[in-house]
Amino acid sequence: MRGKFAFLLCLTSFVAFVSTSVSAAAGADLVINDVTVIPMDKESADEHQVVTIHDGLIVSIAKHSASQPGSNALVIDGQGKFLTPGLVDAHAHIIPLRDKLKSQDSRYSALKSEAQTSHPYDSAMLFPYLREGVTTVFHLGGGGSDVLELRDLIQRGIILGPRLVVGKLIDGPPEAVVISMHKAPPPSSIEHPETARDGREAVKLAVAAHYDFIKSYQHLNQETYDAIETAAHAAHLITVGHLPELGCSNCVSPEHPFLVPMDDIAHAEELGRYAMQDDLDPSRLSVLTDWVLRSHSMLTPTLVSTRSILYMYVHRHVPPLPEEVLLTVDPITLNAWLPEHTRYLSEDFRTQPGIDRYPAGFDFDRVLTRQLFRSATPLLIGADAPTIPGIAYGYSVHQEMLEINSLGLTPYQVLRAATVTPHELLGEGDRAGLIKVGQRADLVLLNANPLDDIRNARDITGVIVGGRWLSARRLREQTKENAAYFGRLERKAGLMADRARYLKDSRSGSL
């Protein structure tokens, strides 16, 4: 989710769901036979391997001829196929239906019946992730605490979905940035801390509520920002976020956030914003690179989201999306993507001061991302779905992988950013992100080698999530069922025309 002034950025029923996934009988093994394994701890593949999965973990990897699967094992033929770790979306916003209903227009009250404990809407909404081979998703805030319940139900295998890693967003009062020149900022609170004490208290509450990490946002003053970073790290939580805003009386110096660093910077645009102060002077590239290197922060560039905003700014219509992907987008998200609901197509957005430098800012972000990667800053793949029109759950991970590929990273380097690195950020690299004995069985079976061409990461013939096997046919059938389910809800809520309107607008106009 982007700040207001970040112009450089900022089913069916649950029963049906379970029945369409196939898992090995309780206690039995799942075996991928004679497959080419891409373990991701080296830039090469191991042919003719037998990978055995038990209770959601990889328990053995052996040469094909040496292994005989047990008789009650579910055996998948991996001949001619490629096995990779599941992909990770390191920047998304997961707003469950119950939260969506709180803040949306009255038409959505027709969808209230879907806000059940079995989360039919939410599991259909998240299914595109599995369809696209994404088995772990970072939630970067927004909505309430319902996402924690969803995370736990998925973790316990009650709802089928990607593993959710849930961040608690902590931000000061956004309006303080604007009014502090003229008025005293509003009083500090734990919801919007402006003192170190309230910042620490906000972290304490997040820890007690079992959030997985802290997302610090950009309207924090120096003492509060420092207190949040320090308290989170003391509680062994990582921090991901926006850099503190520049330019108000109580804000940090530009270097400061790199001296008390967060673990991952949520957009390359955050760095670009700092360079805007100097009118994108290319000499700022080396200064910013030095600051980031000194901080040892990782970076989730989210370039595809910046590109989509730029697209809307230039073309004045919503970005195109393949129709088969558009059909997987839930009705409320789709409605928010319509041109009249998108601030990126609004007059306000188009006329804000400095907006004419937006395209140059995107170029700067790309060069800076490449420079940082060459200087050994680890990159992650994230797309900020679904806060920007056309940035759909799952599909956008592949779009961002292509963006990063286009900066000159090899397919292996891109794949690392989508598999190994996010788990290293979470401090769980020994348990997830690789194909090795003892690792989580979140895997993708592909028809073609992604080390040859990163586009092959979308040529999916099956997905394993938490040890559960979903064949291509099952993925297709569930996708079809979900589209029918969304269609029924759209009729119920009077949103039938939205999908056609999005398609029409995305195809409209020319330069």
x-or-dash string of contact with Zn ion, 89-128, rule CB under 5 A: ----------------------------------------
To Zn ion, the closest distance from the beta carbon of 129 in angstroms equals: 16
Nearer to Zn ion, 167 or 173 (CB): 167
- Please report whether residue 269 would count as binding Zn ion according to CB under 5 A: no
Please list every residue from 140 through 169 that binds Zn ion, using CB under 5 A. Answer: 140
Burial class (CB in 10 A: 0-12, 13-18, 19+), 417: buried
Nearer to Zn ion, 295 or 300 (CB): 300
Residues in the chain: 511
Triad 371, 242, 134: Cα angle to 5°: 75
x-or-dash string of contact with Zn ion, 340-379, rule CB under 5 A: ----------------------------------------
To Zn ion, the closest distance from the beta carbon of 140 in angstroms equals: 5
Beta pairing partners, 53: 30, 58
Closest CA to 242 of 174, 196, 316: 174
Closest CA to 282 of 357, 377, 368: 368
- Please report whether residue 493 would count as binding Zn ion according to CB under 5 A: no
Nearer to Zn ion, 45 or 137 (CB): 137
To Zn ion, the closest distance from the beta carbon of 1 in angstroms equals: 4
Residue range at the interface with Zn ion (CB under 5 A); choices 19-27, 132-140, 201-209, 369-377 = 132-140
- Please report whether residue 34 would count as binding Zn ion according to CB under 5 A: no
- Please report whether residue 384 would count as binding Zn ion according to CB under 5 A: yes
Residues 6+ apart with CB under 8 A from 459: 446, 447, 448
DSSP 32: E
Nearer to Zn ion, 401 or 475 (CB): 401
Nearer to Zn ion, 306 or 328 (CB): 306
- Please report whether residue 1 would count as binding Zn ion according to CB under 5 A: yes
To Zn ion, the closest distance from the beta carbon of 297 in angstroms equals: 17
Q: Mapped to the 3 state alphabet, what secondary structure does 360-403 carry?
A: HHHHHHHHHHHHHHHCCCCECCCCCECCCCCCCCCHHHHHHHHH
CA–CA distances in Å: residue 266 to residues 47, 120, 277? 37, 30, 20
Which two tokens mark 203? Answer: 């972290």
To Zn ion, the closest distance from the beta carbon of 387 in angstroms equals: 6
- Please report whether residue 83 would count as binding Zn ion according to CB under 5 A: no
DSSP 440: B
Contacting residues toward Zn ion, per CB under 5 A: 1, 140, 384
